[in-house]
């Protein structure tokens, strides 16, 4: 658990002279920066010529910063291979899906699977780990930077060969693959693994299995590179290792963090999109269970490059972001970047200090963050986020399936965020959890948009239901097999029997004048949908009109002490939103959800606990201010005011900390957590 | 003529096990399926390894189906060449206009002009023809599948060389080509055929002649492949041969069907677009004159792939489609596909049976079709579609000219379908006819959007006019020569003298505030237009405003017993629609068109004849129901009711068959047809 | 100065037979054409086979035209290299930024930097110069045609090597480049010039320095080719040399015209866009100071190709264009093209005569131009455009910087034209001047959208201000160094001290609710902005709201006898327009601008002078007619009417010439000019 709250910035001292560095450190101290991240793009400085490695600059930097009370997260510099690695070596370069070979000049241009790249990456990583791994200033490591942020699957010859081996390992024999993929469908049939193409240009679409498997292959390979780097670092350093990722990059975050020590994310969401920001907090908290996450990059004001930009944050928003994150489990809140780039392609990006060494438009906001951090530190470091009772499954593998099969232009993020937002804005404390997460402690589980439900997932979810949980499945969930093929036993495979339904039909509901009715709310149905007929369960949502008038789009079925709710379609529009809200509230009540606050949209409550106490961190995120209903017994942590039950106002971007005594039941539910806080 | 009505489905038994096949056959019988199409994607099954051909599976399948009363259209499997044909042979692959080389993994990835492909295609075709050509179950053949549906012109080296030969054959000498194409225009001048590029990347546009000729070359080559396959099949089978095409693919359908035995089309138009569906019926009926056509593919509910989908048909629409097609000359109505694909990239596509063997959302509609087929069979098989008096020329060559010269973004289909729809919705029985069609039997001929009018076409049309026909020419017709160059004698070449006009100017009318007035209706003029001054003829439509105030956009000129009407521009908007409707009705009256029914928009009447009788098949296509005016003497074929003159209602998607005695004149006009029915 | 007004057309006699040529000449005389441009696409005629050059056709043509009173501008034919230059020589072809290699078949497909191309270009140019350079009919030369109109920077191997040499010459050592570009930023660091890539495909953006420098390199290379050609022509001909350019092409016009004798432009702006047309006139007049420019190409009616078109000009507009240009300093007004192309890809383009030898829709308008030309000639040839007092800097180098760094999708032209239009429509006589232009004679200088202000420019502008000028700087001006990096002394570098401001922040203002207030007008602020705090100067425009409430977006600072006004942001919307208009009028008054007329929007006044007289050429450009206020003492040049002070009407597309006696002051300001008229 967190011993300290970090407030940091990405720092590139290798690009500036000594005088500027002195100035920087002075200003960092002024701004309350207590950690920097360094080195991730500095390979050409560290190893200017192949084999000639000199890390003294960074050793000195780390020590100098440490002397000023600033700690360091050290990075491996592999996202930006020097020219000596790529020049005259086109075979080492990343190849995109159109066969375009990348050039030196930006970053991520070399294929991370290239053998020689891997060799040189291992050498520089080991040298860095040796040189700085033991320094007291080094409190953590970041591997590479934003894996696969600019590139997706690579189509180079190295990848082709690895792809064949990966397939062979996965399927064993070519006939097993042919059968699994149904390759006879368009005479695609392969005689050997060596014949299987990468998903490059074809007159029409590739086989879905091939498309999905290539993504999973690519996910696995980048994670292997991460594992490899982590293993090297660990030989020379005790400091924990992370990687800064997002839900946009072409990685499987769950797999990626498996062998890392803590999780961190980068975010540049604008204020209007604060739900996306919170989505990250609620998800990253759960990639490494029990470990606090880091916000590794966010702009002090606005993101930008030569060709794009966002509007700067309104004054006050940065503080709200920082407070929300610290409260939701973030150990650090770090900026990209400290000093504005003088050159390159991100010169216009917001920074703490300008290229000419002056405070930027974000500087005062950074100081506000620091004040908040100092005020919150005693609260945060003695508590832990309360155990959420509501969970939503997040899956980068589901994202891959949807990329292969987007129907028209469905996008995983765009589908799951409104789902999340509905639960957020209704005031539920919630977790976004990876597919493989344990389900203990939850009472209500949502599994939307997971085309393929794994055997393990089904088992866990069944156990969860049997023990009393309510599981809401769908829409767009369960209709594909592991190999992205169609089930041949039933539309949703084994799930149907479990859920006590038969899927009559699956088809797109848009434009068919089909409505769904649930508890008196009627809404237009959209998305590719499953039409149900209960077998053991019962219909709770009925279709009106269209091709399946009278059949069910929602069913429920008691299993053990719990219940499986099937949601076969997506109610849309304003009334669809109402219907889904009703659905959430209804089943939250059934599941006996306690951690819900009555808070106005745009303001959030992050509950934290310690022995005998629940602490609410309240933050207004939208800048409009809001209200929150507070029960009896609370006390304002900062003003000391004893609060009576009632509705309280929260000013624009204001935060408050309210402390409540914890009742027995709550303590029980959070036992394990409370224990961990006590340690 | 039709002896039987077929109700069929595309079937891929090679992808399923024996048990599933048994189940399929049982369900086919239940659904009233009496014909299947098989084998078009099965090359890898038939010839798993190069040279090892085994067709026993299909021989058995055909026999087994035949035993259950289901006949077979056998296909050649050339759209999906096996991996042994493409692996390590990039030179055999299709190359698109950007130079992108296709990969194995989808279909149509090999260039159909590749010599080795042609050799292997001939071998497998001959083996299939030998193996199944004599089987009693085989009632027809389909060559390949949807030629050029995913690819257009190929830019491979083989094509380059064939292009040079094709040009040499066409032009004889390089100087003839240089002169015809005017190659000195930008110093494009060629010294030898070998120097002429394919229409690949250039800084600006290619010469129009080169662009158009490359399309015609490609049209010819794919037709030659079809001819070659047909000749092989004919050596071993008596069954008639077809190919399933559309107006979207990169083929010249008129040329393609020249050496085939019957025509068939694939259609996935949505209900709102039923005019497109009928367009196909009215066109395909005329590709092989006197031969009924087939609807070879349509979805029982909705089309879809991993990346797209259409809304499922409303219940009832499928039946309306089938009835309309049977009535308009369709011998068969077939689905794509019988059983939902388990794998590949078209898994979400609508089917009759799901991948798990259950009826889909379309199943009941399929059964409705079967009931209608049975009810109609006695009517359809004893009659023939009445001879249309109105014809509209359809030309895939005109489409090629427009692709080379789209002005802004004109598309041939988008221009011609509204033209057709205007005539359809006004209640005229009509034909869409290819450029080379005989004009006997017609009274009114439309020739819109044919940039180049061939010498033969002009001759035939002139004869048609001299014998009494009314020929409406334009817009966008006649302004280009065979080589896509500009005439140097007159804007529209020889046509002008024939039509008694001089074209003063040609220019785009949009944005020039030009209006056209015809018979009291005034409408904004659009499209690249010809401005006329009558020489021998007279102005009937006058331009108001703009750059050519007072000149004519419509003229007419008596020639022999008939008349040539020039339409130089496209009246647009609602009033343009009114003007064109007026034009159609006016000249239909002048041409003494009889076969017109007073029917509400969305409902159609398909007139059929036999000795002494005219039969109206009435169908509501839009699902809103409608009305039709029926003259005295009709009798409802199914209810037996004698009808008095009046307006009758037709329910949503309802069909009716009304029988009338035929009068003398009608009999005369349809003499030949009636004879053919009597045979 | 102009001795005669030209009225011309592009002519391609090489594409037509002798009879047609005879007809053409007759029609030219009828249309009043007195000059033609020839030969720019005729290389394949001149040198059909490599090394076999025959120019007799053109020699004869020039003589024949001369015999009919038609003079010739002869061209070098290098935009369209013959097939013998490209066939089997892919290494000579232009390569675009995606690595796509161009093909023969259009134009500009060969890289103009290719050594062998340069050699053959030199040979054909020299032969042409020798053959026709001495002919009395040849009154001028055009080099090539529209350099870089279809292609931008080339990525071929020749260019790569020249790029490396160019960089070496510019930076001297690789370390100087590394430092200037800050290449360590993403480990881009280079060990040798040979390693530096061209700006081809990368996963993300290239370094800004590399992107901008490659554009400047390309600018320089095409200008060198022009210089090379000019030097050859000059050895054999006295006739002045030009090139026909635009502000769209990928050239630096200022650099291009440096070694040419007069400037000319091509324009196809539609009537609604007449400000763009006038923009060209006001700019091209200043590329070769004191030399009249030519309108080398404009359509007599409409531009078009196979794939695009514009609406034809309304009758009368062509005349207005011609009159405006003659009055603003144009010596010639020439059409593209005389006779419609029979073949190629520009067949639909408007012409004077159709391909079949008849007048086109534009013909009567051409005759109107000729009548106007004849009427104006005595006025124009005895006067010169009055010296403008207001100048706006136009810079193709600034355009390159903005292409590298467009923020979102800023486009230089789209930003500068509204700026120009505001000054135009307010009735100011104005110059658009290149960066290096002398500033003598001006009183008010605008420098918007110049990311990089050169040392020379700063020096000249400072001198201008010190001597009494008002310099309005911004928005988006001065924030980048020569190498497209960020200043490290201050946001705007040296400019800040000069202007007496400190830039507090730079960031995008959109979406931040920031308003600017200047002289009582309040408007929303947009664009990437500089927020000022006056140091020596004072705030005149204040920011309200947003992140910088209370700071300045406009400041002014007295320097010497003049003033520097900083404009840090772009006021937007209707009130933004008002604010900027107020700004222009306020500072025009301060600067004591005299040459302003009170004229309604859509009508312009072009003032010309000669000893003792000012002549106003008034033209209505928008076809709506307008009004102009005329002071006492004027006389209508054509009607002879003496005008009293008052508002006069101008009919649609009408022009008038009003003569005034010049007062002392005016004469003084225009002294030098008047002298030049007297010579």
Cβ-defined contact of C44 to B188 (cutoff 8 Å) = yes
Question: With contacts defined as CB-CB under 8 Å, which chain C residues touch B547?
Answer: 301, 312, 314-315, 361
Write out the E strands in C180-285: 241-242, 244-245, 264-266
Write out the E strands in C429-567: 430-434, 444-447, 470-473, 501-508, 515-518, 521-526, 528-534, 538-544, 552-559, 562-567
Helix (H) or strand (E) holding B38: strand B35-38
Residue C677 has pLDDT above 80, yes or no: no
Check if the beta carbon of residue A434 is closer than 8 Å to that of residue A254.
Answer: yes
**Which residues 102-161 on chain B approach chain A with CB closer than 8 angstroms?**
102-109, 150-151
Residue A1: the pLDDT is 47
How is residue B599 annotated by DSSP?
Answer: B
- What is the distance between the terminal CA atoms of chain A, rounded to a whole angstrom? 9
Residue B2: the pLDDT is 60
Question: With contacts defined as CB-CB under 8 Å, which chain C residues touch B548?
Answer: 361
C192 CB near a chain A CB, below 8 Å?
no
- In C, minimum Cα distance to B491 occurs at C356
Mean pLDDT value across residues C194-200: 98
Mean pLDDT value across residues B229-257: 98
Catalytic residue selected from B40, B47, B126, B297: B297
Residue A2: the pLDDT is 60
Residue A679: the pLDDT is 39
Kindly state the tokens that stand for B405: 């010269």
Cβ-defined contact of A187 to B80 (cutoff 8 Å) = yes
- What is the distance between the terminal CA atoms of chain B, rounded to a whole angstrom? 9
pLDDT in tens, B298-308: 999 999 999 99
A410 CB near a chain B CB, below 8 Å?
no
| A138-142 β-sheet, strand order | A241-242, A138-142, A71-75, A35-38, A6-11, A330-335, A293-297, A264-266, A244-245
Residue B75 has pLDDT above 90, yes or no: yes
Residue B664: the pLDDT is 63
Map out the domains of chain C as residue ranges.
6-80+114-154+226-382, 157-213, 390-590, 603-678
- In A, minimum Cα distance to C402 occurs at A306
C311 CB near a chain B CB, below 8 Å?
yes
Residue A662: the pLDDT is 82
C14 CB near a chain B CB, below 8 Å?
yes
Q: What is the DSSP string of C117-177?
A: HHHHHHHHHHHHHHHHTT-TTEEEEE-SSSTTSS--S--SHHHHHHHHHHHHHHHSSHHHH
Catalytic residue selected from B47, B146, B331, B613: B146
Kindly state the tokens that stand for A138: 């080094």
Question: With contacts defined as CB-CB under 8 Å, which chain B residues touch C337?
Answer: none
Domain B603-678 grouped into CATH 1.20.200.10: no
Residues 6 or more apart in contact with residue B327 via CB below 8 angstroms: B376, B380, B385, B606, B608, B617, B619
Please tell me whether residue C202 adopts helix, strand or coil conformation.
coil
Nearest to C85 by CA among C134, C47, C136, C32: C47
Beta pairing, strands A138-142 & A241-242:
parallel
pLDDT in tens, A442-497: 999 999 999 999 999 999 999 999 999 999 999 999 999 999 999 999 999 999 99
Question: With contacts defined as CB-CB under 8 Å, which chain C residues touch B504?
Answer: 358, 361
Mean pLDDT value across residues B432-437: 98
B547 CB near a chain C CB, below 8 Å?
yes
Residues 6 or more apart in contact with residue C583 via CB below 8 angstroms: C472, C518, C519, C554, C565, C567
Cβ-defined contact of C512 to A314 (cutoff 8 Å) = yes
Distance, in Å, from the CA atom of C651 to the CA atom of C658, rounded to the nearest integer, reads 15
Cβ-defined contact of A182 to B344 (cutoff 8 Å) = yes
Burial of residue B220 (number of CB atoms within 10 Å: 0-12, 13-18, 19+): middle
Cβ-defined contact of B104 to A504 (cutoff 8 Å) = no
Share of chain B above pLDDT 90, in %: 97
Is B146 noted as a catalytic residue in this protein?
A: yes
B507 CB near a chain C CB, below 8 Å?
yes
Task: Count Cβ atoms below 10 Å from residue C445 Cβ, excluding itself.
Answer: 25
Check if the beta carbon of residue C350 is closer than 8 Å to that of residue C302.
Answer: yes
Is A331 noted as a catalytic residue in this protein?
A: no
C210 CB near a chain A CB, below 8 Å?
yes
For the packed helices A396-404 and A412-425, what is the interaxial angle rounded to 10 degrees?
130
pLDDT in tens, B14-33: 999 999 999 999 999 999 99
Q: How would residue C679 be classed by pLDDT, with cut points 50, 70 and 90?
A: very low
Kindly state the tokens that stand for A368: 């506000």
* Shortest Cα–Cα distance, C7 to chain A (Å): 44
Kindly state the tokens that stand for C200: 């081809």
For B508, C146, C246, C345, the CA distances from C266, given in Å and listed in that order, are: 22, 8, 6, 18
Average of per-residue pLDDT values in chain C: 96
Residue C1: the pLDDT is 47
Cβ-defined contact of A106 to C202 (cutoff 8 Å) = yes
Residue C2: the pLDDT is 60
Question: With contacts defined as CB-CB under 8 Å, which chain B residues touch A506?
Answer: 348, 354
**Which residues 630-649 on chain C approach chain B with CB closer than 8 angstroms?**
none
Question: With contacts defined as CB-CB under 8 Å, which chain C residues touch B185?
Answer: 12, 15, 41, 341-344
* Bridge partners of residue B522, in order along the sequence: B517
- Residue from the list A203, A210, A512 with its beta carbon closest to the beta carbon of B102: A203
Cβ-defined contact of B184 to C341 (cutoff 8 Å) = no
Question: With contacts defined as CB-CB under 8 Å, which chain B residues touch A528?
Answer: 309, 348
Long-range contact pairs involving B552-557 (C-beta distance under 8 Å, separation at least 24) = B552/B501, B553/B516, B553/B525, B553/B529, B554/B516, B554/B518, B554/B583, B555/B499, B555/B500, B555/B501, B557/B499, B557/B500, B557/B501
Question: With contacts defined as CB-CB under 8 Å, which chain A residues touch C487?
Answer: 355-356
Burial of residue B647 (number of CB atoms within 10 Å: 0-12, 13-18, 19+): exposed
C355 CB near a chain B CB, below 8 Å?
yes
- In B, minimum Cα distance to A406 occurs at B307
Nearest to A345 by CA among C396, C208, B666, B258: C208
Cβ-defined contact of B209 to C343 (cutoff 8 Å) = yes
Whether the predicted model's global pTM rises above the 0.90 cut: yes
Nearest 5°: phi and psi at A517? -125, 125
Q: How would residue B586 be classed by pLDDT, with cut points 50, 70 and 90?
A: very high
| C384-385 β-sheet, strand order | C384-385, C603-610, C613-620, C655-661, C634-636, C642-643
* Shortest Cα–Cα distance, B529 to chain A (Å): 37
Residue A678: the pLDDT is 42
Question: With contacts defined as CB-CB under 8 Å, which chain C residues touch B406?
Answer: 306-307
Q: Which other chains touch chain C, taking contact as 3+ CB pairs less than 8 Å apart? A: A, B
* Shortest Cα–Cα distance, B197 to chain C (Å): 7
Domains A6-155+214-381 and A390-590 share a fold: no
- For domain A6-155+214-381, the CATH superfamily is Glycosidases (3.20.20.80)
Check if the beta carbon of residue C7 is closer than 8 Å to that of residue C35.
Answer: yes
Residue A605: the pLDDT is 98
CATH architecture assignment, domain C6-80+114-154+226-382: Alpha-Beta Barrel (3.20)
Nearest to C444 by CA among C452, C426, C455, C456: C426
Cβ-defined contact of B486 to C305 (cutoff 8 Å) = no
Nearest to A402 by CA among A451, A436, A447, A455: A451
- In A, minimum Cα distance to C178 occurs at A343
* Shortest Cα–Cα distance, B77 to chain A (Å): 9
The CATH fold assigned to B390-590 is Rossmann fold (3.40.50)
A53 CB near a chain C CB, below 8 Å?
no
Distance, in Å, from the CA atom of C535 to the CA atom of C554, rounded to the nearest integer, reads 13
Question: With contacts defined as CB-CB under 8 Å, which chain C residues touch B191?
Answer: 49, 83-84
pLDDT in tens, C265-295: 999 999 999 999 999 999 999 999 989 999 9
Radius of gyration of chain B (CA): 26
For A274, B546, B578, the CA distances from B517, given in Å and listed in that order, are: 59, 13, 11
Distance, in Å, from the CA atom of A589 to the CA atom of C57, rounded to the nearest integer, reads 94
Q: Which other chains touch chain A, taking contact as 3+ CB pairs less than 8 Å apart? A: B, C
- Residue from the list C184, C205, C489 with its beta carbon closest to the beta carbon of A307: C205
Average of per-residue pLDDT values in chain B: 96
- Residue from the list A195, A203, A209 with its beta carbon closest to the beta carbon of B107: A203
Residue B516: the pLDDT is 98
- Residue from the list B184, B198, B504 with its beta carbon closest to the beta carbon of C15: B184
Kindly state the tokens that stand for B522: 């005034």
State which residues of chain A have pLDDT below 70: 1-2, 664-679
For residue A171, the Cα-to-chain-centroid distance in whole angstroms is 30
- Residue from the list A190, A204, A528 with its beta carbon closest to the beta carbon of B106: A204
Q: How would residue B662 be classed by pLDDT, with cut points 50, 70 and 90?
A: confident
pLDDT in tens, C414-460: 999 999 999 999 999 999 999 999 999 999 999 999 999 999 999 99
Q: Which residues of C are catalytic?
A: 146, 297
Burial of residue B303 (number of CB atoms within 10 Å: 0-12, 13-18, 19+): buried
Cβ-defined contact of C312 to B512 (cutoff 8 Å) = yes
Nearest to A310 by CA among C551, C401, C528: C528
Q: How would residue C473 be classed by pLDDT, with cut points 50, 70 and 90?
A: very high
Residue B667: the pLDDT is 58
């Amino acid at each position: 658990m967190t011993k300290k709250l970090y407030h940091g910035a990405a720092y590139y001292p290798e690009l500036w002279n000594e005088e500027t560095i002195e100035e920087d450190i002075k200003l960092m101290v002024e701004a309350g920066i207590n950690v920097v991240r360094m080195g991730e793009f500095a390979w050409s400085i560290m190893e200017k010529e192949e084999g000639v490695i000199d890390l003294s600059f960074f050793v000195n930097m780390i020590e100098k910063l440490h002397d000023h009370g600033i700690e360091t997260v050290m990075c491996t510099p592999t996202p930006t291979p020097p020219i000596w690695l790529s020049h005259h070596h086109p075979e080492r370069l990343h190849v995109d899906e159109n066969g375009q070979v990348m050039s030196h000049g930006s970053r991520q241009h070399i294929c991370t699977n290239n053998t020689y790249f891997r060799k040189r990456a291992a050498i520089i990583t080991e040298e860095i780990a040796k040189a700085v791994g033991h320094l007291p200033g080094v409190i953590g490591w970041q591997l590479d930077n934003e894996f696969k942020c600019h590139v997706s699957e690579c189509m180079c010859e190295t990848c082709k060969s690895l792809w064949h081996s990966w397939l062979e390992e996965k399927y064993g024999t070519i006939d097993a693959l042919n059968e699994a993929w149904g390759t006879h469908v368009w005479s695609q049939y392969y005689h050997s693994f060596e014949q299987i193409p990468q998903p490059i240009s074809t007159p029409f679409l590739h086989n879905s299995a091939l498309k999905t498997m290539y993504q999973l292959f690519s996910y696995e390979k980048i994670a292997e590179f991460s594992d490899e780097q982590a293993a090297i670092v660990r030989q020379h350093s005790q400091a924990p290792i992370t990687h800064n990722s997002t839900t946009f990059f072409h990685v499987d975050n769950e797999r990626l963090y498996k062998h890392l020590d803590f999780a961190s994310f980068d975010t540049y969401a604008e204020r209007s999109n604060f739900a996306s920001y919170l989505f990250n907090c609620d998800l990253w908290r759960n990639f490494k269970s029990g470990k606090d996450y880091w916000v590794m990059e966010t702009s002090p004001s606005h993101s930008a490059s030569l060709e794009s930009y966002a509007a700067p944050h309104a004054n006050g928003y940065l503080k709200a972001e920082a407070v929300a994150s610290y409260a939701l489990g973030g150990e650090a809140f770090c900026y990209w970047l400290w000093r504005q780039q003088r050159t390159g392609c991100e010169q216009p990006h917001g920074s703490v200090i300008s290229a000419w060494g002056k405070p930027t438009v974000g500087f005062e906001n950074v100081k506000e963050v620091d004040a908040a951090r100092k005020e919150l530190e005693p609260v945060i470091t003695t508590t832990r986020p309360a155990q959420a009772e509501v969970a939503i499954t997040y899956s980068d593998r589901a994202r891959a399936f949807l990329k292969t099969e987007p129907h028209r232009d469905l996008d995983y993020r765009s589908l799951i965020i409104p789902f999340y937002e509905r639960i957020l804005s209704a005031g539920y404390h919630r977790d976004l959890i990876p597919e493989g997460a344990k389900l203990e402690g939850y009472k209500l589980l949502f599994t939307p948009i997971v085309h393929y439900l794994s055997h393990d997932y089904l088992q866990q979810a069944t156990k969860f239901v049997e023990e009393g949980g309510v599981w809401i499945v769908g829409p767009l969930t369960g209709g594909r097999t592991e190999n992205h093929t169609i089930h041949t036993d039933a539309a949703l495979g084994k799930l149907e029997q479990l859920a006590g339904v038969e899927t009559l039909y699956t088809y797109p509901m848009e434009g068919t004048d089909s409505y769904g009715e649930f508890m008196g709310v009627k809404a237009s149905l959209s998305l590719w949908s499953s039409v149900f007929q209960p077998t053991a369960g019962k219909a709770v949502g009925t279709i009106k009109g269209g091709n399946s008038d009278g059949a069910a789009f929602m069913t429920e079925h008691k299993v053990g002490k719990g219940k499986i709710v099937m949601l076969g379609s997506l109610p849309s529009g304003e009334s669809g939103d109402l219907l889904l809200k009703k659905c959430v509230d209804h089943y939250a009540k059934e599941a006996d959800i306690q951690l819900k606050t009555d808070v106005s949209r745009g303001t959030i409550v992050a509950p934290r606990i310690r022995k005998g106490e629940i602490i609410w961190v309240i933050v207004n995120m939208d800048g409009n201010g809001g209200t929150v209903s507070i029960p009896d017994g609370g006390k304002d942590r900062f003003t000391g005011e004893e609060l009576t039950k009632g509705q309280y106002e929260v000013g624009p971007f204001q935060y408050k900390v309210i402390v409540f005594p914890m009742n027995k039941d709550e303590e029980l539910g959070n036992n394990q957590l409370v224990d961990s806080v006590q340690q």
